Amino acid sequence: MNACPFTIQKPSFSTVPIAGGLRWRGGAGWRYEEKLDGRWHVRQVGADLLAGELMRGGAFYAFDVLTHGGEDVRPYPLRERLAILDTLPVLRPAVGTGGEFLEAVLARGGEGCVAKALAAPFGQGLYKCKRRETHFCRVADLDPWTGTAILADRDTGEQRGRVALRNRFGRARVGSILKLECFGLTARGLLREARLDNDTPQGWLVQF
């Protein structure tokens, strides 16, 4: 890859709570893309530098253009950057319309969607919407080096990954049952972006 003339930083997202698909933020002037379960990645295609998601199998799905013909196009409106992307032979995320598209993605087990303002420059005007679920898990083990609990499903015993306990590490033990929030399960059956339930101060610890 050629040397990049600027520092590339992954854009930050504002989380939009899910109430119902048709009530999700959006409308005219927005583009809706499926949020893939990959890793944010930058790749050079020809003379252009693209941003996208690198999947576990190695496929790269491009969703934005950073440079075109040696020019930094990040300040351009998204609609103009997408017009450039449309001319390139790359894989792209699925697109649709607002709440109906979100509901369809979630119904087939997808992670969620990202709404992008067509008039915004790179890294701005982004909103993500994901499935939010509650799970009850048993602590299978504790890792004091990382301050995390290793989880198993309370009912089936299937592995569910880890959750950070931080300053609550000493308040759980092996065998404790935790109430967790996450954005659904990954293809491996692990909790996606798990965190302790915060409905009430003690709501996360169901059984010590």
Q: Which domain holds residue 76?
A: 14-130
Question: Residue 160's pLDDT band (boundaries 50, 70, 90)?
Answer: very high
Same domain? 144 vs 83: no
pTM over the 0.75 mark:
no
Query: Is it the case that residue 109 has pLDDT exceeding 80?
Result: no
**Does residue 151 fall inside a structural domain?**
yes
Strand partners, 31: 116
Opening angle at CA 11, ends 8 and 17, nearest 5: 170
Q: How many domains does the chain have?
A: 2
Same domain? 104 vs 163: no
pLDDT at 51: 94
pLDDT at 177: 95
Write out the two tokens for 193. 């972006």
Closest CA to 8 of 83, 85, 77, 64: 64
CATH code of the domain in which 97 resides: 3.30.470.30
Same domain? 187 vs 101: no
Instruction: State mean pLDDT over 19-35.
Output: 65
**Does residue 4 fall inside a structural domain?**
no
**Rg of the chain's alpha carbons, rounded to an integer?**
20
Same domain? 155 vs 198: yes
Question: pLDDT digit string (tens) for 68-98?
Answer: 998 999 999 999 999 999 999 999 999 987 6
Same domain? 36 vs 109: yes
Write out the two tokens for 26. 């959006």
**Does residue 163 fall inside a structural domain?**
yes
Which one of 130, 149, 181 terminates a domain? 130
Question: pLDDT digit string (tens) for 118-151?
Answer: 999 998 888 777 767 889 999 999 999 999 999 9
Question: pLDDT digit string (tens) for 164-179?
Answer: 998 899 999 999 999 9
**Does residue 2 fall inside a structural domain?**
no
